[in-house]
Amino acid sequence: MLMSPELVAEINTLLLFNVADPQEGIKIHKDADPSLIAAAGRLHGKGLVTQPDGGYLTMLGREAAEHLQMAHTIVTSALEASSIS
């Protein structure tokens, strides 16, 4: 299963959030990359963020972002370990 560019953009957007601080949100400015603006809008439509331009993670968004950050850590750690051996 491959991920579409749109899904990759949504994942990258969720990875911008600091899950350690639920009161820290993000703001996607109107002059940002169009794919980032669109990704934030889709995440809002899916109920993962509070505003079409970012805002804060919802409970579902926070859970998704935590899982994504964990997966990112596992994959990058595995890559680093394989480059050492």
Question: How far apart (Å, rounded) are the C-alpha atoms in residues 73 and 70?
Answer: 5
In order along its 85 residues, the chain shows pLDDT tens digits of: 899 999 999 999 999 999 999 999 999 999 999 999 999 999 999 999 999 999 999 999 999 999 999 999 999 997 666 766 5
Sheet-wide strand order for 49-51: 26-27, 54-57, 49-51
pTM of the model: 0.88
Asked if 42 and 6 touch (Cβ cutoff 8 Å), the reply is yes
